[in-house]
Amino acid sequence: MALEKLRASLAESPVVRFGDYQYFVHPITDGIPLGRPDVLAEVVREIVRVGDWDCDKITTAESMGFPLAAAVSLTVGKPYVFLRKRQYGLPGEVSVAQVTGYSKANLFVNNVHAGDRVVFVDDVISTGGTLRAIVQAFHTIGARLVDVIIVFEKTREKERFERELGIRIKTLMKVDVVDGKVVERG
Protein backbone atom coordinates (compact mmCIF):
# COMPACT_ATOMS: atom_id res chain seq x y z
CA MET A 1 0.00 0.00 0.00
CA ALA A 2 1.31 3.46 -0.90
CA LEU A 3 2.47 5.71 1.95
CA GLU A 4 2.21 2.96 4.56
CA LYS A 5 5.07 4.43 6.64
CA LEU A 6 3.52 7.90 6.56
CA ARG A 7 0.15 6.44 7.49
CA ALA A 8 1.66 4.53 10.44
CA SER A 9 3.53 7.63 11.63
CA LEU A 10 0.26 9.54 12.08
CA ALA A 11 -0.61 7.39 15.11
CA GLU A 12 2.29 9.06 16.98
CA SER A 13 1.19 12.63 16.17
CA PRO A 14 0.15 14.76 19.14
CA VAL A 15 -2.53 17.43 18.66
CA VAL A 16 -2.22 20.90 20.18
CA ARG A 17 -4.56 23.90 20.14
CA PHE A 18 -3.85 27.41 18.93
CA GLY A 19 -7.07 29.15 19.97
CA ASP A 20 -9.84 27.27 18.13
CA TYR A 21 -7.39 25.72 15.65
CA GLN A 22 -6.45 22.05 16.24
CA TYR A 23 -2.90 21.60 15.02
CA PHE A 24 -1.33 18.17 14.62
CA VAL A 25 2.39 17.84 15.25
CA HIS A 26 4.21 15.53 12.83
CA PRO A 27 7.79 15.30 11.52
CA ILE A 28 6.66 16.25 7.98
CA THR A 29 4.71 19.30 9.22
CA ASP A 30 6.91 20.39 12.14
CA GLY A 31 10.19 18.48 12.27
CA ILE A 32 9.06 16.99 15.60
CA PRO A 33 8.71 14.35 16.94
CA LEU A 34 11.85 12.84 15.50
CA GLY A 35 11.86 12.80 11.71
CA ARG A 36 12.48 9.39 10.21
CA PRO A 37 14.41 9.17 6.93
CA ASP A 38 12.29 6.25 5.72
CA VAL A 39 9.08 8.28 6.09
CA LEU A 40 10.61 11.32 4.38
CA ALA A 41 11.97 9.14 1.55
CA GLU A 42 8.56 7.54 1.04
CA VAL A 43 6.86 10.96 0.90
CA VAL A 44 9.45 12.34 -1.53
CA ARG A 45 9.07 9.30 -3.81
CA GLU A 46 5.32 9.88 -3.95
CA ILE A 47 5.70 13.62 -4.60
CA VAL A 48 8.10 12.82 -7.44
CA ARG A 49 5.71 10.20 -8.82
CA VAL A 50 2.67 12.51 -8.97
CA GLY A 51 4.41 15.76 -9.92
CA ASP A 52 4.78 17.56 -13.24
CA TRP A 53 8.52 18.22 -13.45
CA ASP A 54 8.41 20.12 -16.74
CA CYS A 55 9.31 23.22 -14.75
CA ASP A 56 12.15 25.62 -14.11
CA LYS A 57 12.07 25.68 -10.29
CA ILE A 58 10.64 23.92 -7.27
CA THR A 59 9.25 26.35 -4.71
CA THR A 60 8.04 26.09 -1.15
CA ALA A 61 7.16 28.37 1.75
CA GLU A 62 8.93 28.67 5.07
CA SER A 63 9.51 26.44 6.78
CA MET A 64 8.39 22.83 6.67
CA GLY A 65 8.36 22.63 2.91
CA PHE A 66 12.15 23.13 3.01
CA PRO A 67 13.16 19.47 3.49
CA LEU A 68 10.55 18.34 0.97
CA ALA A 69 11.60 20.79 -1.76
CA ALA A 70 15.31 20.13 -1.21
CA ALA A 71 14.87 16.35 -1.38
CA VAL A 72 12.62 16.58 -4.45
CA SER A 73 15.19 18.90 -6.07
CA LEU A 74 17.90 16.28 -5.58
CA THR A 75 15.65 13.62 -7.09
CA VAL A 76 14.35 15.47 -10.16
CA GLY A 77 17.38 17.67 -10.79
CA LYS A 78 15.58 21.02 -10.68
CA PRO A 79 16.68 24.01 -8.55
CA TYR A 80 14.65 24.97 -5.48
CA VAL A 81 13.57 28.33 -4.11
CA PHE A 82 12.48 28.93 -0.52
CA LEU A 83 9.89 31.64 0.06
CA ARG A 84 10.96 33.19 3.34
CA LYS A 85 9.35 35.12 6.18
CA ARG A 86 12.45 37.34 6.26
CA GLN A 87 12.95 40.31 3.98
CA TYR A 88 16.35 40.47 2.31
CA GLY A 89 15.85 43.54 0.15
CA LEU A 90 17.31 41.88 -2.93
CA PRO A 91 16.47 43.26 -6.39
CA GLY A 92 13.10 41.93 -7.59
CA GLU A 93 12.00 40.71 -4.15
CA VAL A 94 8.21 40.45 -3.88
CA SER A 95 6.35 40.56 -0.56
CA VAL A 96 2.94 38.99 -0.03
CA ALA A 97 0.75 38.65 3.11
CA GLN A 98 0.24 35.12 4.42
CA VAL A 99 -2.70 34.48 6.77
CA THR A 100 -3.19 30.95 8.14
CA GLY A 101 -5.45 29.48 10.80
CA TYR A 102 -2.88 30.26 13.49
CA SER A 103 -0.57 33.04 12.23
CA LYS A 104 -0.06 36.09 10.04
CA ALA A 105 3.21 36.91 8.31
CA ASN A 106 4.68 38.26 5.11
CA LEU A 107 6.37 35.94 2.66
CA PHE A 108 9.23 37.27 0.58
CA VAL A 109 9.87 35.79 -2.85
CA ASN A 110 13.31 35.95 -4.46
CA ASN A 111 14.67 34.16 -7.54
CA VAL A 112 11.28 33.63 -9.18
CA HIS A 113 10.93 35.68 -12.36
CA ALA A 114 8.38 36.46 -15.04
CA GLY A 115 8.00 33.48 -17.32
CA ASP A 116 9.36 30.94 -14.81
CA ARG A 117 7.44 27.67 -14.70
CA VAL A 118 7.29 26.68 -11.04
CA VAL A 119 6.04 23.77 -8.96
CA PHE A 120 4.95 24.46 -5.39
CA VAL A 121 5.53 21.72 -2.80
CA ASP A 122 4.35 21.96 0.82
CA ASP A 123 3.57 19.95 3.92
CA VAL A 124 -0.11 20.71 4.65
CA ILE A 125 -3.09 22.63 3.33
CA SER A 126 -5.64 23.64 5.93
CA THR A 127 -7.03 27.17 5.69
CA GLY A 128 -5.48 27.81 2.27
CA GLY A 129 -3.77 30.98 3.50
CA THR A 130 -0.25 30.03 2.45
CA LEU A 131 -1.34 28.81 -0.97
CA ARG A 132 -3.43 31.94 -1.54
CA ALA A 133 -0.36 34.08 -0.80
CA ILE A 134 1.84 31.98 -3.11
CA VAL A 135 -0.58 32.13 -6.03
CA GLN A 136 -0.88 35.91 -5.57
CA ALA A 137 2.90 36.33 -5.47
CA PHE A 138 3.50 34.25 -8.60
CA HIS A 139 0.71 36.11 -10.42
CA THR A 140 2.28 39.45 -9.46
CA ILE A 141 5.68 38.26 -10.70
CA GLY A 142 4.34 36.71 -13.90
CA ALA A 143 5.54 33.21 -13.08
CA ARG A 144 3.44 30.21 -14.14
CA LEU A 145 2.43 27.74 -11.44
CA VAL A 146 2.45 24.39 -13.27
CA ASP A 147 1.81 22.07 -10.31
CA VAL A 148 0.93 22.12 -6.62
CA ILE A 149 1.73 19.06 -4.49
CA ILE A 150 0.94 19.02 -0.78
CA VAL A 151 1.46 16.09 1.58
CA PHE A 152 -1.48 16.47 3.98
CA GLU A 153 -4.92 17.75 3.05
CA LYS A 154 -6.44 18.99 6.31
CA THR A 155 -9.34 20.83 4.73
CA ARG A 156 -12.68 19.99 3.25
CA GLU A 157 -12.47 22.99 0.96
CA LYS A 158 -9.81 21.89 -1.52
CA GLU A 159 -12.22 22.07 -4.47
CA ARG A 160 -13.28 25.61 -3.49
CA PHE A 161 -9.61 26.64 -3.22
CA GLU A 162 -8.96 25.16 -6.68
CA ARG A 163 -11.86 27.12 -8.20
CA GLU A 164 -10.98 30.33 -6.35
CA LEU A 165 -7.28 30.18 -7.24
CA GLY A 166 -7.65 28.67 -10.72
CA ILE A 167 -5.26 25.80 -10.00
CA ARG A 168 -5.28 22.05 -9.41
CA ILE A 169 -4.02 20.93 -5.99
CA LYS A 170 -2.59 17.43 -5.62
CA THR A 171 -2.49 16.03 -2.10
CA LEU A 172 -1.03 12.76 -0.90
CA MET A 173 -3.26 12.10 2.12
CA LYS A 174 -6.50 13.53 3.51
CA VAL A 175 -6.53 13.88 7.29
CA ASP A 176 -8.79 15.20 10.04
CA VAL A 177 -8.30 15.77 13.73
CA VAL A 178 -11.01 13.86 15.63
CA ASP A 179 -11.13 13.64 19.43
CA GLY A 180 -7.53 14.81 19.71
CA LYS A 181 -6.18 12.27 17.18
CA VAL A 182 -5.12 12.52 13.55
CA VAL A 183 -7.16 10.22 11.35
CA GLU A 184 -7.05 9.56 7.63
CA ARG A 185 -10.24 10.15 5.73
CA GLY A 186 -11.20 8.50 2.47
* pTM of the entire predicted model: 0.94
pLDDT tens track of the chain, all 186 residues? 689 999 999 988 999 988 887 888 999 999 998 999 999 999 999 999 999 999 999 999 988 999 999 999 999 999 999 999 999 999 999 998 877 666 688 899 999 999 999 999 999 999 899 999 999 999 999 999 999 999 999 999 999 999 999 999 999 999 999 888 899 998
Q: Is 128 left (phi over 0), alpha (psi -120 to 50) or beta?
A: left
Q: Which long-range contacts (CB under 8 A, 24 or more apart) does 84-93 make?
A: 84/108, 84/110
